[in-house]
Amino acid sequence: MEQSELGSFEKSTKFDQFSRDELIEQNEALESELARAIKEIYRLKNQHLTEEQLKMVLEEHLAELNASLYGASSERYKKPKDKPKKKEPQKPRVKLPSERYPNVPIKEVPVKADPMPDCEACGKQMSESGMTEDSEQLTVIPKKYEILRFKRAIYRCTCQGCMKTAALPPRIIEGSTYSDEMILDVVLSKYCDLIPMQRYVGMAARGGLKDLPPNSLIDLTHKFAFFAMEVYRLIEAEILQAKVLAADETPQRMLEGSATKSWYLWGFSTPTLCYLLARSTRSGDVAHEILARSACEVLLSDVFTGYGKAIRLANEERKSNEQVLIINANCNAHARRYFFKPNPVTYPEAGFYLDHYHEIYQLNDEAKGKPPDEVLHLRSQMKPRFEAMKVRAMEELARYPNGTKYKKALNYYLENYVGLTYFLTDPRVPIDNNGQERLLRSHVVGRKTWYGTHSEQGAETAAVLFSIVETCKLNGVNPREYFADLVASILSRKKVLTPAQWKA
């Protein structure tokens, strides 16, 4: 097919009408046009491309297009195994429900034959032996809605001068037509189980409670967030005392109620704490707001300039006060991901880095739960692998044109090498920031379901309630049990405990 100008080629979307030869011709024309476009782009950037580099860039673009259409989204990588396969262990015996769930109550259901069976030997009617053959089934009792009618006693005196009514017990929302149990169910359905209010209303309707107003249920979540603010402040206070913090942020769309539509949910965490706050900006000033008040010595984050700005500003203040400066450790999961992105056919050399990271993460798995000295010993075995990757990256860097994914991966690794390897010398610091990213996952899944927030109050509510729920999960605490006890403590004016304190 002849082409006279850049960008001029025959277009058609009726692929089913093409023959095989015509499709091949169209594909070759597209590849040729793409190559011309790439050459022109690099010429305008005053960058020279060799034929080998042009082929490399072209293959990357075509592979990226193919991957976007047909590729898997998983980043799982399996290193080729040299060792023989181990013999698979025998499957364990399937446990009875009562063995798997020892805390679930058991209801015994007698099963008797009616009429009594006859003996196959003599024909007489049989009688019960007193023995049973037991089997178990796991069942569920569907949610049941009830109306509580409080009949408050009225007291009078024989003098006829006074009458008094028995007081209702204290509640989360005084005067509300929803009980405390209903409020907790609404709150945890949304912020623990990620069920949107419209879906909750539909589920209630199928359970016999029709026409439940969703706006009033959303209002319950706002009021409960205010009710539970004390524990949110306790989590914040503990976060500010932590020496090592992980940080990350994720978009939170503001549908209405604010001039700024692009809000962000910022997260700061430790192995036992999750503190989230909603802000209308992605500026590093938000992270600085936390770091300036904190005792943090190491901040683990991705390579986002906002965190660099926050650390720089905080350290300037600390220098003047002669305080310990904050060190920025970087996330190895991000570095590994950069090497995973290039197409393995175009860049088989990326396997070198993926293999090394595979071994590094194997050692990291061994170190989990070990005392600090053993963690450092295992991490010392990772150091040669990081150094080998650095040497290889420096050798390869000049061979690849700017803008390719593989060169971006090499640059990312070399430019952030110090931050990526800091964890080797500090057992308190994790290898990556995946833990903090997981704490934002519920919000990310939730926002895809309810699309965004309708008010600044809604953003604040999400930050408060997700913080408490995710802190429960970090400590292996059932949020429904904790929230029920939290309500009881607040209403009875007892000391409020964080999920970690409550578990202890």
Extract the runs of DSSP E, i.e. beta strands, from 221-312. 244-253, 262-270, 273-279, 298-301
What is the number of structural domains in the chain?
2
pLDDT at 47 over 70: no
Choice between 461 and 12, residue whose per-residue pLDDT is larger: 461
Banded model confidence at residue 343, pLDDT cuts 50, 70, 90: confident
**74-88, 150-164, 471-485: least confident range:** 74-88
Burial (CB count within 10 angstroms: exposed 0-12, middle 13-18, buried 19+), residue 114 = exposed
Do the beta carbons of residue 268 and residue 474 sit within 8 Å?
no
**13-17, 101-105, 124-128, 402-406: least confident range:** 13-17
Does 144 map to a domain? no
Q: Report the distance separating Cα 310 and Cα 292, nearest Å.
A: 8
Q: Report the distance separating Cα 194 and Cα 446, nearest Å.
A: 5
Report pLDDT for 25.
73
Structure tokens at 257: 């109620």
The model's pLDDT over 384-430, given as tens digits with 9 standing for 90+, comes to 999 999 999 898 888 887 878 888 889 999 999 999 999 999 899 88
- Last residue of one domain, picked from the residues 414, 432, 450: 432
Report pLDDT for 280.
86
Q: Report the distance separating Cα 252 and Cα 354, nearest Å.
A: 33
Does 348 map to a domain? yes
Do the beta carbons of residue 336 and residue 354 sit within 8 Å?
yes
Report pLDDT for 257.
65
Does 452 map to a domain? no
Domain containing 33 equals: 15-66
- Last residue of one domain, picked from the residues 413, 432, 451: 432
Does 246 map to a domain? no
Does 288 map to a domain? no
Whether this prediction's pTM lies above 0.85 is answered by: no
pLDDT at 446 over 50: yes
Does 351 map to a domain? yes
Number of C-beta neighbours around residue 78 at 10 A: 7
| Mean pLDDT computed over 67-74 | 60
Does 384 map to a domain? yes
Does 362 map to a domain? yes
Do the beta carbons of residue 185 and residue 480 sit within 8 Å?
no
Report pLDDT for 71.
58
Residue 329's SS3 state is strand
Q: Report the distance separating Cα 282 and Cα 274, nearest Å.
A: 19
Query: Quick one: which of 147, 184, 243, 73 has its CA closest to 482?
Result: 184
Q: Report the distance separating Cα 258 and Cα 426, nearest Å.
A: 43
- Last residue of one domain, picked from the residues 374, 399, 432: 432
Do the beta carbons of residue 37 and residue 57 sit within 8 Å?
no
